[in-house]
Amino acid sequence: MSFQIETGRLIIRDVREEDIPILVKQNAEPEARGGILSFQADETYNKKELEKAMAWAQYQRRPYYKLSVALKTDGTLIGSCTYTDVVPESYEAAIGWHYGHRFRGNGYATEAAYAMIDFAFGFVGVNEIFADCFAENRASIRIMEKTGMSSGWNFDLFNVIRGWSYGEQKAAVRYVISKRQWSAKHFKSRAE
């Protein structure tokens, strides 16, 4: 079953075989190392995750989406985003993203995150969405804040423990938005 979301500038779609070398290369960029988990820079791990994503794409209802993000104008692959635990009426689902270094700072990640959140709440029906990142990753935190997510249980010790839970020696923060908060935000913006 093919999946695709279009935004003003982007196409968010299932991973294709030809995407794999580009996405693997983007995760291996030296500029990416500080913002991703250590194992996420590993080529073998990335290839397996992308192949797993292509296998999941065969199912209409799936709990895991790893998606390619491409520019609408010319189809250039600029990065990827993920959903995990995306099942109807799920208490919480996670989203994440990674973009090639040269595509950062253009608002693409925020645009894709809006579309992903809207899909999860509107079409799948999850109740809450969260995203985690390292505490020093200001770019990802800005994306979370722009989409209406707020800091959830981000205290020094929790952040350190959250980082450990990912196998890292760096603190990680969590940002969260509920379906109710998302609906209220969108209702208000449509009324204005």
Q: Give the model's pLDDT for residue 70.
A: 98
DSSP 50-66: HHHHHHHTT-SS-SEEE
Residue 150, classed as helix, strand or coil, is strand
Specify whether the CB–CB gap between 130 and 1 falls below 8 A.
Answer: no
Give pLDDT tens digits for 17-57. 999 999 999 988 888 767 777 778 788 988 999 999 999 89
pLDDT higher than threshold 60 for residue 192: no
Distance of CA 107 to the CA centre of its chain: 14
pLDDT higher than threshold 80 for residue 87: no
- 2 — alpha (psi -120 to 50), left (phi > 0) or beta? beta
- Domain of 45, CATH number, reads 3.40.630.30
What are the tokens at 184?
Answer: 């209220």
pLDDT higher than threshold 90 for residue 142: yes
Q: Give the model's pLDDT for residue 59.
A: 84
Count of the separate structural domains present in the chain: 1
pLDDT higher than threshold 60 for residue 189: no
CA–CA distance, 112 with 81 (Å, rounded to integer):
8
Q: Give the model's pLDDT for residue 7.
A: 96
Q: Give the model's pLDDT for residue 191.
A: 47
Provide the Cα torsion 188, 116, 128, 150; round to 10°.
Answer: -60
Mean pLDDT value of segment 125-148: 91
Write out the residue range of the structural domain in which residue 55 sits. 4-191
Specify whether the CB–CB gap between 24 and 50 falls below 8 A.
Answer: yes
Specify whether the CB–CB gap between 83 and 38 falls below 8 A.
Answer: no
Residue 1 pLDDT class (50, 70, 90 cuts): low
Residue-wise burial string across 133-147, b where 16 or more C-beta atoms lie within 10 A, e elsewhere: bbbebeebbebbeeb
DSSP 26-92: HHH-GGGGGGS-GGGG-HHHHHHHHHHHHHHTT-SS-SEEEEEEEETTT--EEEEEEEES--TT-S-
Mean pLDDT value of segment 56-69: 88
Place of tokens 């997510």: 149
Give pLDDT tens digits for 148-188. 999 877 777 778 878 878 788 888 898 999 999 998 877 55
Specify whether the CB–CB gap between 12 and 116 falls below 8 A.
Answer: yes
Element (H, E) at 173: strand 172-178
Give pLDDT tens digits for 116-132. 999 888 877 788 999 99
The model carries a pTM of 0.87
Q: Give the model's pLDDT for residue 123.
A: 75
